[in-house]
Chain A
């Protein structure tokens, strides 16, 4: 069922077996795993079923480090969480991402890729994806010949795209119908209250924006509020532990990671159309796949770099004959006369080569059109090394609930930049070897300093702030995502990633949520 906390009486006390805070990809996944079981679930959500500016404003905070998205833009605070603006890019981390890499400080998960594989496979349909295949085998699914890249230098790994699935819309009905699930809307958790030794959570304090309060008691609590808010909530819960829960070793909020996204190279292609055909989007059983290039494992080891990835994108000439012809045809197909018809016909007539190439591609070869590529480039999705100085921390400023806001100090290191340079160079070598073209590194990448150019941005991926390690001095949660030193408090989401690879995090978030749900099922059994 779905209920609104403001309709409860002041001071209401809600009892449940399992309390999950945050109805995003992780929280909804865990709740669904228990739907129909004998375990009572309360899924607590700050927002409602739709976007509300007053609730969203609770996410405001300052960026103190590298330029970044506004913190209230980079995530969403209502039912479905940030999947409400998810773009659907998906893939698993690579095996090497889980390993201890001596050249990457603080690297190594307490679990392996193999441990997570069954959950990745289960996460595929949850996320609206196709078969659990992301490596070279995809080429044969697509009935395409694999490029002859040397995998030691540059490996091909695919992205899959979810439609994208909005978890709030996709699973609302299922959760509404589940008798044992109570989705509690407009309920902000303001404090996690523990016993005197901070070993067990006793209850959560709730508050609405209008000031109504209440509390939830449960046997087990899961915090699943996203990579920034998970840390914030632990830091805010300081009544028993002055440094915040799980923070005896000053780790909560530290090690914030993103996937630096930026143009790292341009490609002078021998055959632009052939290159874009190979590295463009392909469909297998209506699921889109996109080949990406990443630094081969052997190169990562030899060059002591991170796992960097890249897509091949292009900018089309907006004045190309093909674009003009498409606009004319689209309008005519709708029975309308195109605007500026004379201008468009002129563009077609003066760019007949491009029009002819695309007409042949479309009507003879059955391929999509590629309007006069003006610039082909490598767009990075690279791993960031764990860095304790890159962090989320509490601000002195307070939100409408009277709680300290979160500030973000995103920082990158020399290793992050060098890793991207090595990847781009290796792609250049491989493209040269295969005579696909030549690659030019961007100017900022050639400079030795820490300049990242003006276009650096992340992927709205907030990771690492409650990192996983079996050693409480190295991590906030253990291999089961249980807060180290605490008996009944768990964390779900990308904040538990000790390292982040280059792959978009949603599939791993869902896989870890499924794994956590299995762990909790055995605990309740």
Chain B
């Protein structure tokens, strides 16, 4: 479940082909984010549960903007570092959620939620 472990992408390449330059950048960033999960089963379960608990956050664009920021090329390592930093800050600030009993940083729970929406 930890975000720090990186594996290969899972989004089909053709999803990029249909995108304009901005859309392509978003899609690339999303793929990049999802690729940070070593195994998708647990994150998807957490993401779905998070969205049940916080249904008003079931908004892909909003989650994406909150997690990734403005659409721009972002390599995987930079995104990993950014999310890890924000997770640490969440834990420091007490900005945590309990999803299926797990004490998670809001950021990582939202990352799981975004993965579940893709």
Contacts and interface: CB of A to CB of B under 8 A. Distances in A.
B87 interface: yes
Interface in A421-456: 424-425, 428-430, 432-433, 435, 437-443, 446
Interface residues of A, number: 18
B112 to A, nearest CB: 12
A249 interface: no
Given A270-B2, A443-B101, A428 B88 contact: no
Interface string B81-118: 00010011011101010101111110000000000000
- Dominant secondary structure at the B interface: mixed
A470 B99 CA distance: 47
Interface in B1-55: 1-2, 4
A429 B91 contact: yes
A268 interface: yes
Contact of A429 (B1, B4, B94, B100): B94
Contact of B102 (A430, A435, A440, A443): A440
Contacts of B91: 429-430, 432-433
A439 B103 contact: yes
The interface centre, meaning the residue of A428, A430, A442, A443 with most chain B CB atoms within 10 A of its CB, is: A428
A270 B104 CA distance: 14
A443 B98 CA distance: 12
Contacts of B1: 268, 438
A425 B103 contact: yes
A435 B88 contact: yes
B98 A433 contact: no
Contacts of A435: 2, 4, 84, 88
B52 to A, nearest CB: 14
Given A268-B1, A270-B2, A438-B1, A433 B101 contact: no
A60 B117 CA distance: 61
Given A270-B2, A430-B91, A438-B1, A425 B101 contact: no
B102 A438 contact: yes
A446 B101 contact: yes
Contacts of B90: 432
Interface in A229-284: 268, 270
A495 B107 CA distance: 48
Interface in B66-91: 84, 87-88, 90-91
A424 B103 CA distance: 9
A438 B101 contact: no
A439 B105 CA distance: 11
A432 B87 contact: yes
Nearest to B105: A432
Interface string A174-185: 000000000000
Nearest to B102: A440
Contacts of A424: 103
Given A268-B1, A433-B88, A439 B102 contact: yes
A314 B104 CA distance: 22
Nearest to A445: B101
A438 B96 CA distance: 12
A451 to B, nearest CB: 15
The interface centre, meaning the residue of A429, A435, A443 with most chain B CB atoms within 10 A of its CB, is: A429
A429 B98 contact: no
A443 B104 CA distance: 16
8 contacts: A428-B103, A432-B90, A432-B96, A432-B104, A433-B88, A439-B102, A439-B103, A440-B100
Interface of B: 1-2, 4, 84, 87-88, 90-92, 94, 96, 98, 100-105
Interface of A: 268, 270, 424-425, 428-430, 432-433, 435, 437-443, 446
The 3 tightest CB contacts between A and B, nearest first, are A428-B103, A433-B91, A432-B91
